[in-house]
C-alpha cells in the first residue's frame, strides 16, 4: 500500500510538471521543424528525389524478364510437339527469359543521373528554405507572446500603483485635504486599467493559442512559454553594411540556390532532349523452351516383314508394271517425354543487336528541344529575378533593422523622460499641488511609454534575427 501511494505521488508530480512546462524558443523551433506539415512535405520531396535518382541509376542495368505459361487445350488443336492438328486434350507449358541492355542512347542515361542529383540538391535547398521560414514564423509568434506578456506586466504593475494612490486619496478625502472629485477620478482610472488588463490577458491567451497552432500542439490550456531571459543580442550584424549582408545572402540563402539549381536542371533537360537526335544501340538475348503432355506417333520397321513391294508405275507404251521395294513401317502411339528432357530438347536461343536511327518523327524531338531551350531562358530570368528580389529584401531588412534600432533608442529616451515627468507629477499630487486628472494623464503617458519600449525592443530583436538569417546564420543557431 505504501509503495502504491509513493508511485501515485511520483506520477502525479510528473503530470503536474508536464502541465507546467514552459517552452523555450529553441524548443519551439526544434519542435516545429520536426512536426510542421510543410516541413514534412518538403522532406517527402527529398525522399522522392532519392527515388528518382535510384530509377536513373537503374537505367544502366540490363533489363531481365522471365515469362512462364501454362495452358490446357481441348478439341482440335495443333500439337506443339508434332505441329499436327489433332482432336485431343493436352496440357502444355512454356518458359522464356529475355535480357536487354542499352549500349548507347545519346548519353541520356548519364545526363538523367546528373539531373537526378541536381534535383535532390534542389529539394534539399527547398527544405532548408522551408525550415528557415518556419523558424521565423515561430520566432515572430514567440516574441509576440513575450511582448504581450510584458505589456500585461506593465499594466498590472501600474494598476498596483493606482491601487496605492486610491487608498492614499481616500484617506486625504476623508481628512478633507482633497476634494471628492479626485477620488472619483482615481477610481475611474482604476476601472479603465482593470479593463485594459482583461484585454491584455485575452491578447496573451490568443497569441499563445496562435503559437500552439503553428506548432500543432492541441493542449492550448496548458501550453505556455518561458518569457524570461530574452534580450537584444547583436553579434555584430547591425554593424555590417547592406552590401556585406547581400553578398552573404547570395552565397548562403536557399532562394538563390534553388533558382541556380533550376537553371542547372533546365540545362540537363535540354541536353537530354538533344540526345534524342542520336541513334540508340541495344543488345538482346533470349532463351525459350516448352513442354507438353500430349501423345505422339513414331514409325518403326516391322521386324517380321521389313520390306514390302509396291507398284510405283507403268511403262508408257508397253504397259509393263514397274514395282519397288519399300521399308515396311508401323506407326505406334507413345507417351510424352519426361518434363526435363523436353525442356532440354525443345529449347532455343536468340541474340543480337538493335540499332534505331531517328530520321523523321513529326518534329517531336525538335519541338521538345525548342521547348527546353525556352525553359532554360525562363530559368535564367527567374534566377536574375531571385537575385534582384533578394537584394531588395536585404536592403529593406537592413533599413528596417536600422530604423528599429533608432526607434528602440528613442523609446528608451521617451521612457526616461516620461518617468521623470511621472515622478514629478506624483510628488505634486502627493502634496496636493495638482489634481487627480492631471496625475492620471501623466501616469497614462508613462504606461504608454513602457508599452512602446516593449514593442520597439521585440521588433528590433526580430529584425536583427531576420538580418542574421539573410547573412547565412542557420535558424537553429540564432541567439536571443
Enumerate the domain spans of the chain. 20-61+105-278+358-477, 296-334
User: What is the predicted pLDDT for the residue at 10?
Assistant: 39
d(CA 413, CA 461): 18
User: What is the predicted pLDDT for the residue at 18?
Assistant: 44
Give pLDDT < 50 ranges for the chain. Answer: 1-18
Nearest to 472 by CA among 176, 245, 222: 245
Check: CB of residue 52 under 8 Å from CB of residue 116: yes
* Residue with the three cell numbers 533599413: 399
Q: What is the pLDDT of residues 47-96, one digit of tens each?
A: 999 999 999 999 999 999 999 988 887 877 776 666 667 777 778 888 99
Check: CB of residue 258 under 8 Å from CB of residue 125: yes
The pTM of the full predicted model, rounded to 2 decimals, is 0.74
Consecutive H or E run containing 211: helix 180-214
Fold of 20-61+105-278+358-477: Outer membrane efflux proteins (OEP) (1.20.1600)
Q: What is the pLDDT of residues 142-190, one digit of tens each?
A: 888 888 888 888 888 888 878 877 887 787 777 776 677 777 877 888 8
Check: CB of residue 96 under 8 Å from CB of residue 343: no
User: What is the predicted pLDDT for the residue at 476?
Assistant: 67
Amino acid at each position: 500500500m505504501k509503495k502504491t501511494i509513493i508511485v501515485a505521488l511520483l506520477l502525479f508530480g510528473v503530470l503536474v510538471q508536464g502541465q507546467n512546462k514552459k517552452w523555450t524558443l529553441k524548443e519551439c523551433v526544434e519542435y516545429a521543424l520536426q512536426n510542421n506539415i510543410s516541413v514534412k512535405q518538403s522532406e517527402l520531396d527529398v525522399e522522392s528525389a532519392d527515388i528518382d535518382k535510384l530509377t536513373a541509376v537503374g537505367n544502366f542495368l540490363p533489363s531481365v524478364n522471365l515469362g512462364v505459361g501454362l495452358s490446357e487445350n481441348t478439341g482440335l488443336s495443333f500439337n506443339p510437339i508434332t505441329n499436327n492438328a489433332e482432336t485431343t486434350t493436352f496440357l502444355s507449358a512454356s518458359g522464356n527469359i529475355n535480357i536487354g541492355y542499352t549500349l548507347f542512347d545519346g548519353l541520356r542515361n548519364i545526363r538523367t543521373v546528373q539531373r537526378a542529383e541536381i534535383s535532390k540538391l534542389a529539394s534539399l535547398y527547398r527544405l532548408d528554405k522551408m525550415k528557415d521560414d518556419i523558424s521565423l514564423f515561430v520566432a515572430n509568434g514567440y516574441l509576440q507572446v513575450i511582448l504581450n506578456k510584458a505589456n500585461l506586466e506593465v499594466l498590472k504593475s501600474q494598476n498596483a500603483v493606482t491601487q496605492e494612490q486610491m487608498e492614499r486619496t481616500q484617506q486625504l478625502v476623508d481628512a478633507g485635504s482633497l476634494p471628492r472629485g479626485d477620488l472619483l477620478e482615481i477610481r475611474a482610472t482604476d476601472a479603465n486599467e482593470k479593463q485594459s488588463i482583461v484585454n491584455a490577458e485575452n491578447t496573451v491567451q490568443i497569441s499563445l493559442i496562435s503559437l500552439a497552432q503553428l506548432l500543432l500542439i492541441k493542449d492550448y490550456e496548458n501550453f505556455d512559454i518561458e518569457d524570461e531571459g530574452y534580450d537584444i543580442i547583436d553579434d555584430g550584424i547591425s554593424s555590417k553594411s547592406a552590401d556585406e549582408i547581400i553578398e552573404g545572402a547570395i552565397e548562403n540563402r536557399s532562394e538563390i540556390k534553388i533558382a541556380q539549381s533550376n537553371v542547372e536542371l533546365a540545362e540537363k533537360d535540354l541536353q537530354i532532349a538533344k540526345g534524342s537526335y542520336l541513334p540508340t544501340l541495344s543488345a538482346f538475348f533470349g532463351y525459350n523452351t516448352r513442354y507438353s503432355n500430349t501423345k505422339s506417333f513414331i514409325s518403326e520397321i516391322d521386324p517380321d516383314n521389313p520390306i514390302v513391294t509396291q507398284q510405283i508405275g507403268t511403262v508408257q507404251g508397253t504397259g509393263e508394271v514397274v514395282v519397288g521395294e519399300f521399308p515396311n513401317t508401323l506407326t505406334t502411339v507413345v507417351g510424352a517425354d519426361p518434363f526435363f528432357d523436353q525442356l532440354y530438347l525443345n529449347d532455343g536461343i536468340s541474340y543480337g543487336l538493335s540499332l534505331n536511327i531517328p530520321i523523321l518523327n513529326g518534329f517531336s524531338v525538335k519541338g521538345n528541344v525548342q521547348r527546353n531551350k525556352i525553359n532554360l531562358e525562363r530559368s535564367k530570368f527567374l534566377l536574375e529575378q531571385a537575385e534582384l528580389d533578394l537584394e531588395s529584401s536585404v536592403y529593406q531588412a537592413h533599413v528596417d533593422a536600422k530604423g528599429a534600432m533608432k526607434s528602440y533608442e528613442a523609446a528608451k529616451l521617451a521612457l526616461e523622460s516620461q518617468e521623470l515627468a511621472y515622478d514629478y507629477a506624483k510628488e505634486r499630487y502627493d502634496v496636493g499641488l495638482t489634481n487627480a486628472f492631471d496625475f492620471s494623464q501623466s501616469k497614462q503617458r508613462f504606461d504608454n511609454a513602457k508599452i512602446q519600449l516593449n514593442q520597439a525592443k521585440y521588433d528590433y530583436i526580430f529584425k536583427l534575427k531576420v538580418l542574421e538569417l539573410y547573412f547565412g546564420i542557420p535558424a537553429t543557431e540564432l541567439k536571443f
